[in-house]
């Protein structure tokens, strides 16, 4: 039986797995010992192969809903692009990518946008996931790699602080590191407005009001300073900017933080002591802390705390963030972001433009400048000055974007919407042209996991008849549009080009080859030469900043974009459940996952439910300033009485969320808005 060693198609843990083709043509998932998941898989990974022969699988291109041949579909798209650009200019066409695309696809998509289309409008859904941590990492360390150390360090930490990360549900195999850590006597601290399954494993759970993580981080730093835990030698030798950060933290004494966040001062002090006394301490942020209009500043506050304690670069200690989407890390490195070129280069850097233009065989001046972030791009579609056409790869913004009803309106206002996908997502349902493309088990490529480890995705089988590939679509459209450089349809050729384009950049892949990945269980970037061993641990001796020092960034707490008011007296926060993934296009079609998590719901506290005479299971209406959703109530005592929680994997929930943006990362404020709940 043919068998390949590959990785799960879903989250950024990218669990190692085997795929086996049985005699009956079915694909079976099996475990394999990989350094991160060590044989573990969650329910999503175990059932991932069910989509390969799913009856909803798209197997022919659709033009206005009717099946057509590939040449007809591609000719139509190319002709419409040519017409729209002739009338409205090259920025009339936009591209929207995804954090689940392979490195090769993300790279090719950025190149396609800049060189074939010549548009500045390209961005991706990772903007909804990682951008705040990425921005804060760059401004502190000069580089953004989710975990700058191997994942296994989590299990060895004397104190592990998880701020807004619910790994027990989002990445269950990672839970073994929490077990390892606590069984060895370590202290696990979780900051989360909900008593999630992760928080319930913690020795100390800080349960702040949504939108107050930044104040909690400032309060922790205040106690660390007051109790003398600051690593003065490290601060003096390896950082800049300490004095102003220390000055601002002085104003965040525990009682003040308690009044603002609801976190008892004693718990705050206990957490600071556990961090300060630990020989090895790790601080990790997740979406809970990051998806705010002040997400970048909140992450900076946690990084400031880590720097004060002397953690980054100390073996066994550090700060990291947990990337969410499968290739959320690689997807933000190679050019599908509006402001970026491959190798994590900035598109407004003349040297970067010259290098990448040289690889692409075009003049630097022919490359467009920076575009706008995902939410801004979606908001601009179909407006008089905005793009008239959008090409979507590996994303479903109708469900995953904030204020989703408005996003659907913007997509309907387009002259041309093209979606490449393997299932008819809610976004594909609005498309003029749908192009059926291959799934993970049918394609080769690379992914970069949450540790910055570049991995191989390996094909087990061919896509069904009639199904193309994302790279093939880009190559064919490139040929038809006949602008500039060629896009290769072969993933290995694309990766070799990506290596050259990334050479010398912060995310340098030039020494990574598919063969090395096979032989070494993945290669950590940066890896600048064939003989370089890769970089599992960053910052050991220096930081990639101009002076080699990490930068403290002064930040202050501020309120969320929306606070509760008489009309909307509650906080609404959103998140994930174990059995579903992102916008649910895939997992809402897998029977065991549907059985485990069949529909959206809203969690509310028993006290709130009693006040409104709502009983468990009863349908209720949740209303925000942007829309309403009818959801069954789940009455649970794991949530604060002033807070509602709803998972966003189903259409409707993001109709409620706020599209207010972080000024630095352009991250929407998914994690907190004002809402009310009504009995129906
Ligand atoms: Fe897949 Fe993530 Fe589950 Fe691992 S934890 S099996 S990568 S979804």
Q: Whose CA is nearest to atom 2 of ligand 1?
A: 11
| Distance, CA of 476 to CA of 517 (rounded, Å) | 29
Q: Which of 7, 13, 453 is the best mutation target for the ligand 1 pocket, counting ligand atoms within 8 Å of the beta carbon and taking the most?
A: 13
pLDDT the model gives residue 402: 86
pLDDT the model gives residue 485: 64
| CB contact at 8 A, 286 and 450 | no
Q: Which of 35, 42, 441 is the best mutation target for the ligand 1 pocket, counting ligand atoms within 8 Å of the beta carbon and taking the most?
A: 42
Q: Is the pLDDT of residue 125 over 80?
A: yes
Q: Is the pLDDT of residue 188 over 60?
A: yes
pLDDT the model gives residue 584: 85
Q: How many CB atoms lie within 10 A of CB 435?
A: 30
Q: Does the beta carbon of 44 lie inside 6 Å of ligand 1?
A: yes
Counting atoms of ligand 1 from 1, which one is nearest the CA of 174?
Answer: 5
For 634-667, how does the pLDDT look when each residue is reduced to its tens digit (9 = 90+)? 999 999 999 999 998 988 899 999 999 999 999 9
Q: Give me the torsion for CA of 642, 646, 651, 657, rounded to 10°.
A: 40
C-alpha of residue 41 to centroid of ligand 1, in Å: 6
Backbone phi and psi for residue 140, each to the nearest 5 degrees, phi listed first? -90, -50
pLDDT band at 409 (very low <50, low <70, confident <90, very high): very high
Q: How many CB atoms lie within 10 A of CB 651?
A: 19
pLDDT band at 438 (very low <50, low <70, confident <90, very high): very high
For 308-329, how does the pLDDT look when each residue is reduced to its tens digit (9 = 90+)? 999 999 999 999 999 988 898 9
Counting atoms of ligand 1 from 1, which one is nearest the CA of 46?
Answer: 6
Q: How many CB atoms lie within 10 A of CB 55?
A: 5
Q: Does the beta carbon of 45 lie inside 6 Å of ligand 1?
A: yes
C-alpha of residue 171 to centroid of ligand 1, in Å: 6
Report the mean per-residue pLDDT for the chain: 95
* Region 350-363 average pLDDT: 96
pLDDT the model gives residue 84: 98
Q: Does the beta carbon of 218 lie inside 6 Å of ligand 1?
A: no
pLDDT the model gives residue 129: 82
Q: Is the pLDDT of residue 69 over 70?
A: yes
For 220-262, how does the pLDDT look when each residue is reduced to its tens digit (9 = 90+)? 999 999 999 999 999 999 999 999 999 999 999 999 999 999 9
C-alpha of residue 13 to centroid of ligand 1, in Å: 6
pLDDT the model gives residue 672: 93
Counting atoms of ligand 1 from 1, which one is nearest the CA of 48?
Answer: 1
Q: Which of 31, 169, 172, 457 is the best mutation target for the ligand 1 pocket, counting ligand atoms within 8 Å of the beta carbon and taking the most?
A: 172
For 528-542, how does the pLDDT look when each residue is reduced to its tens digit (9 = 90+)? 999 999 999 999 999
DSSP H helices, 458-555, are 470-481, 491-502, 514-520
Q: What is the CA radius of gyration of the chain?
A: 24
Instruction: Calculate ∠ Cα 66-67-71, nearest 5°.
Output: 120
**Residues sharing a CB contact under 8 Å with residue 631, sequence separation 6 or more, in sequence order:** 600, 601, 602, 619, 620, 621, 622, 646, 652, 653
Q: Does the beta carbon of 450 lie inside 6 Å of ligand 1?
A: no
C-alpha of residue 158 to centroid of ligand 1, in Å: 26
């Amino acid at each position: 039986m043919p068998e390949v060693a590959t990785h799960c198609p879903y989250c950024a843990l990218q669990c190692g797995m085997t795929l086996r083709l049985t005699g009956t043509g079915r694909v079976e998932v099996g475990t394999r010992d990989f350094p991160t998941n060590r044989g573990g898989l969650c329910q999503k990974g175990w059932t991932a192969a069910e989509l390969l022969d799913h009856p909803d699988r798209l197997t022919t291109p659709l033009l206005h809903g009717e099946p057509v041949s590939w040449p007809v579909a591609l000719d139509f798209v190319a002709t419409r692009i040519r017409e729209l650009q002739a009338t409205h200019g090259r920025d009339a066409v936009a591209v929207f990518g995804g954090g689940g695309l392979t490195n090769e696809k993300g790279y090719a998509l950025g190149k396609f946008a800049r060189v074939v289309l010549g548009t500045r409008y390209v961005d991706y859904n990772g903007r909804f996931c990682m951008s705040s941590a990425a921005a804060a990492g760059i401004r502190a360390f000069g580089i953004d790699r989710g975990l700058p150390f191997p994942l296994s360090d989590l299990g060895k930490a004397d104190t592990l602080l998880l701020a807004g990360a619910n790994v027990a549900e989002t990445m269950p195999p990672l839970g073994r590191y929490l077990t390892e850590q606590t069984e060895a006597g370590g202290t696990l601290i979780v900051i989360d407005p909900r008593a999630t399954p992760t928080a319930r494993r913690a020795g100390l759970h800080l349960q702040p009001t949504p939108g107050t993580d930044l104040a909690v981080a400032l309060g922790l730093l205040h106690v660390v300073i007051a109790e003398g835990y600051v690593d003065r030698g490290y601060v003096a030798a390896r950082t800049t900017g300490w004095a102003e950060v220390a000055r601002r933290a002085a104003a965040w004494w525990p009682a003040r933080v308690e009044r603002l966040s609801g976190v008892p001062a004693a718990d705050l002090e206990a957490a600071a002591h556990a961090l300060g006394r630990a020989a090895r301490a790790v601080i990790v942020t997740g979406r809970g802390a990051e998806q705010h209009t002040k997400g970048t500043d909140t992450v900076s506050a946690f990084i400031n705390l880590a720097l004060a304690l002397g953690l980054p670069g100390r073996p066994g200690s550090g700060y990291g963030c947990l990337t969410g989407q499968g290739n959320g890390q690689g997807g933000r490195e190679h050019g599908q972001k509006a402001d970026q070129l491959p190798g994590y280069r900035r598109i407004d850097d003349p040297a970067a433009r010259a290098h990448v233009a040289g690889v692409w065989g075009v003049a630097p001046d022919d490359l467009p400048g920076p575009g706008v972030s995902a939410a801004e791009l979606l908001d601009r579609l179909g407006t008089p000055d905005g793009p008239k056409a959008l090409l979507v790869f590996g994303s479903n913004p109708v469900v995953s974007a904030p204020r989703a009803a408005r996003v659907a309106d913007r997509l309907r206002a387009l002259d041309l919407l093209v979606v490449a996908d393997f299932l008819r997502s809610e976004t594909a349902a609005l498309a003029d042209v749908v192009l059926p493309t291959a799934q993970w088990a049918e394609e080769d490529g690379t992914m970069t996991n949450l540790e910055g480890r570049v991995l191989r995705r390996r094909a087990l089988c061919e896509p069904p008849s009639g199904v193309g590939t994302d790279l093939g679509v880009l190559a064919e459209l490139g040929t038809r549009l006949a602008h500039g450089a060629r896009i290769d349809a072969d993933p290995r050729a694309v990766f070799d080009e990506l290596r050259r384009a990334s050479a010398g950049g912060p995310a340098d892949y030039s020494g990574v080859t598919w063969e090395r990945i096979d032989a070494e269980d993945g290669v950590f970037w940066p890896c600048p030469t064939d003989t370089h061993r890769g970089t599992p641990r960053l910052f050991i001796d220096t930081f990639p900043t101009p002076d080699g020092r990490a930068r403290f960034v002064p930040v202050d707490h501020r309120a969320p974009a929306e606070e509760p008011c008489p009309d909307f007296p509650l906080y609404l926060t959103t998140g994930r459940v174990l059995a579903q993934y992102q916008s649910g296009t895939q997992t809402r079609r897998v029977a065991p996952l549907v059985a485990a998590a069949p529909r959206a719901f809203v969690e509310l506290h028993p006290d709130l439910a009693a006040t409104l005479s709502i009983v468990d299971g009863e349908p209720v209406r949740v209303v925000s300033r942007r829309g309403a959703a009818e959801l069954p109530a789940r009455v649970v005592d794991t949530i604060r009485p002033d807070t509602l929680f709803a998972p966003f994997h189903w259409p409707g929930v993001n109709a409620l969320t706020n599209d207010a943006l972080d000024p630095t990362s352009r991250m929407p404020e998914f994690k907190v808005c004002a809402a009310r709940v009504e009995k129906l």
